[in-house]
Amino acid sequence: MKSTAAHKDGRSTRWEKHRKAKKEQLLTDTVRAIRKYGAGVRMEEIAEVAGTSKAVYYRHFTDRAGLWSGVVARTVNYIYRNLPLEPSPGTPLPQLVTDLADTYLTLVDRDPEIYAFVTTTPDAAIATADSDPVVTLTAQIAERLAQLLEQHGFDDSADITAQAIVGAIWATTDRWIVTGRRKPKEDIISTLNEIFTPYLSQHSQRKT
């Protein structure tokens, strides 16, 4: 009995690993399809790029909304992991904000269709999504940035300041994408610096 149970457990574990690997591969193929066909890619086109059928996608993700949620989770994690949120000791606050804005803009600029896909919530997902993907990502970034601000002497204002900085970077980036990225990225970063550097520098001087 124990041997049979162990065999079943092992088989179940192998199947679960296979299922997770298959889902990851399908998500990878979905990203490839979005890059090829754009944010409005159809399920038929996604399946074609993946070399499989829509039925396989529906088996793993239920519907387009489920697939969208999977792409969102992967994209949010990717962006967060690649942001400079572990700066070198002694990095000045203005430089930290500059690096954050530059990296965020660069990541979005590299994959504008992925950004558009992620930020366009399918109708079927509106009632079931736990939260807006942009809200999820900006909340994670702001939480980490607030911790860094506290290390620089900010007290109760750390959270508000972090939310303001991240919100400005997100809103500016979103507008940049919507308007076809006509304005040079360097100009956007320079403007953000003009907005936040005086306050951050003043605060640092006050705390020293």
pLDDT mean over 168-191: 93
Q: Are 104 and 167 in contact (CB under 8 A)?
A: no
> Which of 4-18, 66-80, 113-127, 180-194 has the least mean pLDDT?
4-18
Q: Specify the pLDDT at position 108.
A: 93
CATH assignment of 1-61, given 3.40.640.10, 1.10.760.10, 3.90.10.10, 1.10.10.60? 1.10.10.60
Q: What's the number of CA atoms in the CB half-sphere (13 Å) around residue 130?
A: 8
**CA nearest to 69, candidates 22, 128, 17:** 128
More confident residue, 14 or 65: 65
- The tens digit of pLDDT for each residue in 5-53 reads 555 666 677 778 888 999 999 999 999 999 999 999 999 999 999 999 9
Q: Specify the pLDDT at position 127.
A: 46
Q: Specify the pLDDT at position 206.
A: 57
Q: Are 133 and 72 in contact (CB under 8 A)?
A: yes
Q: What is the pTM of this model?
A: 0.83
pLDDT mean over 172-186: 92
CB atoms within 10 A of CB 79: 20
Q: How far apart are CA 144 and CA 159, in angstroms?
A: 10
Report whether pLDDT(61) > 60. yes
Average per-residue pLDDT in the chain?
Answer: 88
**What 3-state DSSP class applies to 61?**
helix
Residue 163: which residues within 8 A CB-CB, separation 6 or more?
142, 146
pLDDT mean over 106-112: 93
Q: Specify the pLDDT at position 134.
A: 82
More confident residue, 202 or 76: 76
Q: Is the dihedral of CA 96, 97, 101, 102 positive or negative?
A: negative
- The tens digit of pLDDT for each residue in 125-163 reads 654 445 578 888 999 999 999 999 998 889 889 999 999
Second CATH level (architecture) for the domain 71-207? Orthogonal Bundle (1.10)
Q: Where in the chain is the domain with CATH 1.10.357.10?
A: 71-207
Q: Specify the pLDDT at position 147.
A: 94
Q: Specify the pLDDT at position 128.
A: 47
Q: Where in the chain is the domain with CATH 1.10.10.60?
A: 1-61
